[in-house]
C-alpha cells in the first residue's frame, strides 16, 4: 500500500505528537455538497449510489477536493448490515429509512443469519479498495458500522422511532431473545468491519446513535457489551500499523469511563459533554473526538472560528484530540461555513502542539 503523506489523524489517536489537530466531519460526503447531489441524481437513488463502488468512491473523495481534511470516510450507510440479512431496506423521501421485513417475533429473530461481507455486502469492501487506491496515500480512510443496539432499533421497530417501545419491550420481557438478536448482529458487524480493514480501511468507527436512550444498566448490558464484543473480534493491525477504533454513543457522556475500558482507541463526543471535562475523566487512556454542535455551522464564519477556539482551549495542549462535529453535518449547511470550520482548526490548533 502507498505510504501515508498525512498521518495526522492516526498519530493523534495514538497520542503521538502532531503539528496541528486533525479534523474531519461526520457525514462530510453528503447532501450539503452540490456535487454530491449531482451524483445522487445520476445514481437514481441513495441505494443505487451506496451499492455502486465507483460512485461511492467519487462522493467519498468530493469533500477532499474542496476542503483541507485530515481523513476520508467511506460513503455508505449503517443499515447495510440488516439489509444484507434480508430485511428489505427502503429509503422514502421525507420519511427516512425503513424495513419491509422487521423482526418482531421469535422465529424471525432466531432465523437471522450472520452476514458474509464478501457475499451480500461485497460492494462495500470493493468500494474501500477503490477509495484507498484513489486516495494514493493522501489521508487515511475511515471505515464504519452501526452498533448492534442502534441497528436493532431499526430492525425491530421497522424504521425510526420516538420511544423504541418494541425493542425496549423485548429487552425487558425477553432479554434472552434480545441477546440473541444483538449477538448475531455484533458478529455480523465484526465480520463487516474486518472486511473493510482487509480492503484498506486504516481506522474504523462504531456509531451507537441510539445508545443514549437506555438506562445506565441497560446501556452496559445491551449496547456497550456488544460493542466490546466487536472490538474483541477486530483485526487491529494492517499495513504495518495499528487500526484504531473509535466508539461514539450519542448522549453517552455519562458513560465515558466505561467506554474507555473496552479497548477502543478513541471516544467520540457529542456537544452535550464538555471536552475538557471528558479529558480530565479519561486521562490518556483514549483519544477524544469532537465536539462542535453541527448547528454552529449555520452561524457567521467569525462565530464558527470563535467556537473552534473555545473547543481547542477546552481540550488544552497536547495530542489526543481529533476535531469533529458532535454529530453529522446537516444538508442545509453552506459549504463555505464548513470550510471556515476546517480552516479555523488548522489555523488555530498549532499553538496547542508546539
Q: How far is CA 235 from each of CA 68, 198, 239, 282, rounded to the nearest angstrom?
A: 29, 8, 12, 24
- Helix and strand tally (H, E) in the chain? 16, 11
Residue-wise DSSP of 147-208: -HHHHHHHHHHSB--SS-HHHHHHHHH-HHHHHHHHHHHHHHHHHHHHHHHHHT-SEEEEEE
Note whether 345 and 323 are within 8 A (CB).
Answer: yes
- Cis-peptide, bond into residue 310, ω within 30° of zero: no
Residue 29 assigned as binding residue: yes
How many whole angstroms separate alpha carbon 184 and alpha carbon 111?
Answer: 10
Residue 77 assigned as binding residue: yes
- 3-state DSSP assignment of residue 23: strand
Residue 30 assigned as binding residue: yes
How many whole angstroms separate alpha carbon 117 and alpha carbon 322?
Answer: 29
Residue 28 assigned as binding residue: yes
How many whole angstroms separate alpha carbon 84 and alpha carbon 155?
Answer: 12
- 3-state DSSP assignment of residue 144: strand
Catalytic positions, written as ranges: 27, 31, 40, 77, 154
Write the DSSP symbol of residue 86: I
Q: Decide the pairing of beta strands 245-249 and 203-208.
A: parallel
Residue where the block lists cell 468507527: 205
Residue 209 assigned as binding residue: yes
Residues 6+ apart with CB under 8 A from 288: 266, 267, 269, 275, 278, 279, 282, 315, 320, 321, 322
Q: Cβ atoms within 10 A of the Cβ of 108, count?
A: 16
Partnered with residue 290 across adjacent β-strands are: 323
Residue where the block lists cell 441497528: 151
Residue 327 assigned as binding residue: yes
User: Binding site for substrate: which residues?
Assistant: 27-31, 77, 154, 209, 327
User: Binding site: which residues?
Assistant: 27-31, 77, 154, 209, 327
Amino acid at each position: 500500500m502507498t505510504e501515508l503523506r498525512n498521518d495526522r489523524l492516526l498519530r493523534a489517536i495514538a497520542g503521538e505528537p502532531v503539528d496541528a489537530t486533525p479534523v474531519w466531519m461526520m457525514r462530510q460526503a453528503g447532501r450539503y455538497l452540490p456535487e454530491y447531489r449531482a451524483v445522487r441524481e445520476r445514481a437514481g437513488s441513495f441505494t443505487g449510489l451506496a451499492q455502486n463502488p465507483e460512485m461511492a468512491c467519487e462522493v467519498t473523495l468530493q469533500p477532499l477536493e474542496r476542503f483541507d481534511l485530515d481523513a476520508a470516510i467511506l460513503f455508505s450507510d449503517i443499515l447495510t448490515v440488516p439489509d444484507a440479512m434480508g430485511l428489505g431496506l427502503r429509503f422514502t423521501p421525507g420519511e427516512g429509512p425503513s424495513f419491509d421485513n422487521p423482526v418482531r417475533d421469535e422465529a424471525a429473530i432466531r432465523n437471522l443469519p450472520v452476514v458474509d461481507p464478501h457475499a451480500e455486502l461485497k460492494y462495500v469492501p470493493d468500494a474501500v479498495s477503490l477509495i484507498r487506491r484513489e486516495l494514493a496515500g493522501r489521508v487515511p480512510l475511515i471505515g464504519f458500522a452501526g452498533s448492534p443496539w442502534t441497528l436493532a432499533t431499526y430492525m425491530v421497530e421497522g424504521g425510526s422511532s420516538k420511544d423504541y417501545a418494541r425493542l425496549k419491550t423485548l429487552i425487558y420481557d425477553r432479554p434472552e431473545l434480545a441477546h440473541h438478536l444483538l449477538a448475531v448482529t455484533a458478529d455480523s458487524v465484526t465480520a463487516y468491519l474486518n472486511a473493510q480493514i482487509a480492503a484498506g480501511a486504516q481506522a474504523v468507527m462504531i456509531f451507537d446513535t441510539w445508545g443514549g436512550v437506555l438506562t445506565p444498566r441497560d446501556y452496559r448490558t445491551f449496547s456497550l457489551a456488544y460493542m466490546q464484543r466487536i472490538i474483541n473480534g477486530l483485526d487491529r493491525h494492517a499495513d504495518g500499523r495499528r487500526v484504531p477504533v473509535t466508539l461514539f454513543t450519542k448522549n453517552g457522556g455519562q458513560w465515558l469511563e466505561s467506554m474507555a475500558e473496552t479497548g477502543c482507541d478513541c471516544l467520540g463526543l457529542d456537544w452535550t459533554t464538555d471536552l475538557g471535562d471528558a479529558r480530565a475523566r479519561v486521562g490518556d487512556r483514549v483519544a477524544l473526538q469532537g465536539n462542535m454542535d453541527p448547528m454552529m455551522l449555520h452561524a457567521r464564519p467569525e462565530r464558527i472560528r470563535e467556537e473552534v477556539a473555545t473547543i481547542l482551549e477546552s481540550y488544552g495542549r497536547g495530542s489526543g484530540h481529533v476535531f469533529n462535529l458532535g454529530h453529522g453535518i446537516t444538508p442545509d449547511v453552506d459549504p463555505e461555513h464548513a470550510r471556515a470550520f476546517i480552516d479555523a482548526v488548522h489555523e488555530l490548533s498549532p499553538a496547542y502542539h508546539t
